[in-house]
Structure 1
Amino acid sequence: MPETQKKHVAVLPFPFGTHAAPLLSIVRRLSSSSSAPAIFSFFCTPNTNASLFGSSLPLGDVTPYEVWDGVSPGYTFSGKHQEDIELFIQAAPYSFAEGMRAAEAKTGRKITCIISDAFLWFAADMARDLDVPWLAFWTAGPAALTAHLHTDLLREKLLGDRGVVGREDETLGFIPGMSKTSVRDLQEGVVFGNMESKFSKMLHEMGKALPRATAVFINCFEELDPIITADLKSKLKEYLNIGPINMMGTQVEATVPDKTGCLEWLDGQREASVVYVSFGTVMVPPAKELEELAGALEESGAPFIWSLKEKVWGSLPVGFLERTEGRGKVVGWAPQVGILRHPSVGAFVTHCGWNSVLESIVGGRAPMICRPFFGDQRLNARMMEVVWGMGAGMEGGVISKKRLLSCLGEIGLVSDGGGKGREMRDNLLSLRRRAQSSVSTDGTSSANFRSLLTLALS
C-alpha cells in the first residue's frame, strides 16, 4: 500500500483526571489489532504525554505529539475553579488543528479518522471539514452519558423559577433506565450548579454533538444496563460498549510494580476480611470525614489498606497510624486492580468513579461503600446501590463513623449482615460473569470492538 494511502488516525484526548490513560489503552489495542498498516498520532499536553509515555516515544504505532495547554508564558493563575480546564478548552480547537497539520507534514499521510474524548465536541466539525469519521470515547458510565444527551429534556421538565429547589428527590422516570435515580444524583451543570460555566457549556454542546458522531464508544458492557443501552442505541448512529477494557489486559496499571507491598500483605489476611479505601487520584475527603473514616476503621477491628496521598497523612487523628500498625496499611499509592481481585478483600470504600466501579465488577469480590463527590459519581453510586445491588451508600452524602460501621456490618465484615453481604457479593459475581462473557471471542464487547476497528481503519 502506498504511504499516502495508509491510514492515519488522529487521537484527541482530554488531558485532565483519568481521561487520557484509558483512551491510550484502547488506541494501543486498536493499533495491535489492525492487520492493515496504520499509524496513530496522539495529541496531548506535554505533562500528560510525559506521564503516559515516559521514555517510550513512540509506543508501537502510537506516536505522541505535544499540543498547547492554553497557558500563555507568564500567565498567573487566579485560583478560579477549573481555570486550567477552561484555558485548555478555549485553545483546544486551534491547538489540535495545528498538531494534526504538523503530524500530516511529518508522516506524509493525511488524517483519515479522528478519535477523540467525547468532551471535545468540536471534533465533530473538524471531522466534517476533513470528511473523515469521528469516533467519540465516553470515559464515564452509561447513566451519566444519557443524562448529558437528555439535558434539554431535563431542563424543560425540571427547571422553574427557583431552578430545581424543592424537586431534588424527584425521580427521573421519563428517561429510559433512570427511574430509580433522582434529580440530586445528576451531574453539576445539567439542571443545577453553574450551568453557565465553560465546562458546563462544553458538556451541553457535547450532548448536542454526539448524535453526529460516526460512533460513540464506552468502557462498559451492554449487559450491565440493557435499558439505557437500548435508549442510547436509538439516539446515536453507533453506540459501542467495548469493555471492561481491564478484562482485556490493556490497563497500564497491570504492569506497574507493587512497590508498597500491598498484594504480598493481602496474602497473609483471611478471605473477604480486608477493607480497601481509595477515593481516586483527584479527591481527598474533608478533614472531618477523614477523622470519621479513621475512627470507623480503628473501631471496626478489620484489617485495611488505605490509599491516601502522603501529604494528607498529617490530617489523620493523632496516633491512628501507630494504633493500627500491623492491622492497617496506609500507602501513598496502591495497585487497585490487583487489590480488588484479591480474595482477602471484602469491602471497597470509594468515590464511585467509573473506573473504580468497573474494577470492582471485574474483581467480583468487594461490595462498594460509596462517598461520591462530583460529576458522574453520584449517579454511579445510586446505580450501584439501588439498581445493581452491589453495595451501600453514605446517608446524607458524607462519611460518618456510625454509618460506615453500619455499612461494614451490612457487608458482613464486622458483624453478620443478615445475608445482605452475601447478596451483594452474589450480584457482583453475576455482573463479573456477564462482563467476562461480553469480552469473550463471541461476546458483545468483542464484536463491538471489531466494529470500532473497522470504523477507525476503513
Structure 2
Amino acid sequence: MQQATGSNCHVAVLAFPFATHPPPLLTITRRLASAAPSTLFSFFSTSESNTSLFSTSLPMLPNIKAYNISDGVPEGHVFVEKPLEDIELFMKVGRENFRKGMEVAVAETGRKLSCLVTDAFLWFGKEMAEENGVAWVPFFVSGVCPLSSHVYTDLIRENFGVAGIVGREDQTLDFIPGMSKVRIHDLPEGIVSGNLGSIFSRMLHQMGQVLPQAAAVFINSFEELDPVITNDMKSKFKKFLNVGPLILSTPPPAVPDSHGCLAWLDKQKPATAAYISFGSVATLPPNELVAVAEALEASRVPFIWSLRDNSKVDLPNGFLDRANGIVVPWAPQIDVLAHSAVGVFISHGGYNSTLESIAAGRVPMIVRPFFGDHGLNGRMVQDVWEIGVIVKGGIFTKNGLISSLDLVLSQEKGKKMRENLKAIMELAQRAVGPEGSSTENFKALLDLVSR
C-alpha cells in the first residue's frame, strides 16, 4: 500500500471509553498511523481506558499520542447503581472535556487539527469538526444491522409508536431494506423500548440523525456480509466504508494461555467441545447460570467456561468436581475458537465475539442476548447468516440449552451452519485480501484522514 504523505496532518481520535468500544478504534488508528507515518494521531480517552489500551505488548507508534480526558465523575460522587450512570456523567461534560484535550494537543504539537475521527456514539463530533473547519469521520463499532436500526429510528417509531409494542414484539421490520427477519424485540433499548428520554437513548437517536452529514462513516465489517443493508447505508451516507474484519486485516498480538485451555482442548475429539463466554460486561443471573451448568452436566458435552471468579458461588454444589470440562476466569478466545476440538460457542452475541466466530470459520453459535446490539446480532446469526441459534425464549433453561447443543453438535442443521461459516469466512478473507473490498475501503479512509 502506498504511504500517504501529509507532513502537517493532525488527526484527533475521540473514543467512547466504555465496554468494548475503544480497542477497535485504537486498532484502526494504529493501522492508519502505520500507513501514514508523517500524520500525527492524538488519541483521546479517559485515563482508565487509555491505561488499559496502551499497556499491551504492541510497540507504540511514534505518530500516535494518548491524551487523558476526565471521566466526568464529580469529586466525592457516590454511584447509586443507576443503569448507565457512568456513561451519563461522561456525556454531560464530554464535549467540553474533549475540546480542552484537543486544545492541549494542538498547543503541544504545534499542528492545527486536519481531521476528526470519533466513535459514532459521540454525535457532537459533527459540530466540533465544523468549529475546527475539518472533516468528521465517525466509526461505528458494531455491525451494519444495528447501524441501520439507529439511522431508521424515527421511521421505526412512526410505524410502531414509542409505547405501543406490547403484544407486537414479534412483528418484523420488513419496511427497512435488509431487515425483514428482524423483530421489534431484537432492537436495542432506546429505539422503541426502555427510557427514551435518557441521555443514552437521546445520544443514540441524535447519532442516527447526524451520521448522514459526516464526510464518511466507517465500520468493522465487510460489504459481502450484508450486501442489502450495506447498499442502503451507502445511499444514506456520503461515504460508507466497511474496513473489516479487523481481526483478519490487523490480527491482535498473541496472548498467553495462562489457564491451560489449549492443552485441555488438545485432549478432546474434533468439534465436540463447547466454549462458553459472555464477554466482559454481561453477567448471567444465578438461575440461568445454574441452568447452563445443569445442561452441561446432563449432556456430558466437554466444555471450557470463561466465568468470573465472583460468579462461581452460584454454580451447583459439586459441579466443578463432576464437570466434564474446565471453568477458567479468562480464556484466549481467538485461539480457543480456532481450535479443532471446539464445536459450539455459547455467547452473548456481542459484535466482537460474533466476528471472531466468523473469522474462525467453523464454530456455530448459541446466542443468549443481554442488551444493546446483542438481539440484532443474534437474529442475523440465526435467521440471515444461518450460523447459529438464539436460545429458546431468549433465556437459558436446562432443557432449552440441551436441545440447542444437540442441534448444533449432532444434527444436520449444525453441519449446515458449519458450511455457512466456512463460506462467510472465505468472503471475509477475500475482503481483506490485496484486491478486496475492505482493502479498497481502507485506502479511501486513509486518503480522507491523511490529506
Residue 233 of structure 1: aligned partner: 234
Q: Is the 8 A contact 1:135 1:213 kept in 2?
A: yes
Q: Is the 8 A contact 1:390 1:425 kept in 2?
A: yes
Moved more, 177-186 or 68-77: 68-77
Q: How does the TM-score come out when normalised to structure 1?
A: 0.95
Between the aligned partners of 1:345 and 1:388, the Cα distance in structure 2 is 20
Between the aligned partners of 2:357 and 2:7, the Cα distance in structure 1 is 43
Residue 17 of structure 1: aligned partner: 19
Structure 2 residue 436 is matched with structure 1 residue 446: no
Residue 94 of structure 1: aligned partner: 96
Q: Is the 8 A contact 1:15 1:48 kept in 2?
A: yes
Q: Deviations over 1:247-277 (max 9, x none)?
A: 02343xx332111121222122211011000
Q: Deviations over 1:392-437 (max 9, x none)?
A: 111111001101111111112xxx31x1111000001010000011
Residue identity matched to 2:46: T
Shift of 1:22: 0.7
Residue 417 of structure 2: aligned partner: 424
Residue identity matched to 2:79: F
Between the aligned partners of 2:80 and 2:402, the Cα distance in structure 1 is 41
Residue identity matched to 1:425: R
Structure 2 residue 84 is matched with structure 1 residue 82: yes
Q: Deviations over 1:177-235 (max 9, x none)?
A: 00011111111110111111100000000001101111111110100000000000000
The alpha-carbon distance between structure 1 residues 224 and 43, as it changes in their structure 2 partners (threshold 3 A), is same
Residue 137 of structure 2: aligned partner: 135
Q: Is the 8 A contact 2:106 2:113 kept in 1?
A: yes
Shift of 1:285: 0.7
Residue 146 of structure 2: aligned partner: 144
Q: Is the 8 A contact 2:6 2:39 kept in 1?
A: no
Q: Is the 8 A contact 1:133 1:214 kept in 2?
A: yes
Between the aligned partners of 2:6 and 2:346, the Cα distance in structure 1 is 52
Residue 397 of structure 1: aligned partner: 394
Between the aligned partners of 1:370 and 1:32, the Cα distance in structure 2 is 36
Residue 407 of structure 2: aligned partner: 410
Q: Which runs of 5+ in 2 are unaligned?
A: none
Shift of 1:60: 3.5
Between the aligned partners of 2:161 and 2:344, the Cα distance in structure 1 is 38
Between the aligned partners of 1:192 and 1:267, the Cα distance in structure 2 is 45
Between the aligned partners of 1:83 and 1:448, the Cα distance in structure 2 is 36
SS in 2 for 1:223: coil
Shift of 1:5: 5.1
Residue 426 of structure 2: aligned partner: 433
Residue 368 of structure 2: aligned partner: 371
Matched positions, count: 446
Q: Is the 8 A contact 2:346 2:365 kept in 1?
A: yes
Structure 2 residue 281 is matched with structure 1 residue 282: yes
Alignment map for 1:288-303 (pairs within 5 Å) = 288-303=287-302
Alignment map for 1:213-232 (pairs within 5 Å) = 213-232=214-233
The alpha-carbon distance between structure 1 residues 59 and 72, as it changes in their structure 2 partners (threshold 3 A), is farther
Q: Is the 8 A contact 1:123 1:134 kept in 2?
A: yes
- Give 4+ residue runs of structure 1 displaced > 3 Å after superposition: 55-60
SS in 2 for 1:255: coil
Identity of aligned residues (%): 50
Q: Deviations over 1:138-194 (max 9, x none)?
A: 01111100000000001111117x422222111111000000111111111101111
Q: Is the 8 A contact 1:188 1:375 kept in 2?
A: yes
SS in 1 for 2:117: strand
Shift of 1:444: 0.2
Residue 177 of structure 2: aligned partner: 176
Q: Which runs of 5+ in 1 are unaligned?
A: none
Structure 2 residue 168 is matched with structure 1 residue 156: no
Residue identity matched to 2:393: G
Q: Is the 8 A contact 1:364 1:429 kept in 2?
A: yes
Root mean square deviation, CA, Å: 1.5
Structure 2 residue 165 is matched with structure 1 residue 192: no
Residue identity matched to 1:364: G
Q: How does the TM-score come out when normalised to structure 2?
A: 0.97
Q: Is the 8 A contact 1:5 1:109 kept in 2?
A: no
| Pairing partner for 1:106 from 87, 100, 108 | 108
Structure 2 residue 48 is matched with structure 1 residue 47: yes
Residue identity matched to 1:356: S
Residue 266 of structure 2: aligned partner: 267
Residue 71 of structure 1: aligned partner: 73
Between the aligned partners of 1:269 and 1:354, the Cα distance in structure 2 is 28
The alpha-carbon distance between structure 1 residues 5 and 28, as it changes in their structure 2 partners (threshold 3 A), is closer
Between the aligned partners of 1:255 and 1:38, the Cα distance in structure 2 is 28
SS in 2 for 1:383: helix
Residue identity matched to 1:23: L
Between the aligned partners of 1:155 and 1:408, the Cα distance in structure 2 is 37
Residue 126 of structure 2: aligned partner: 124
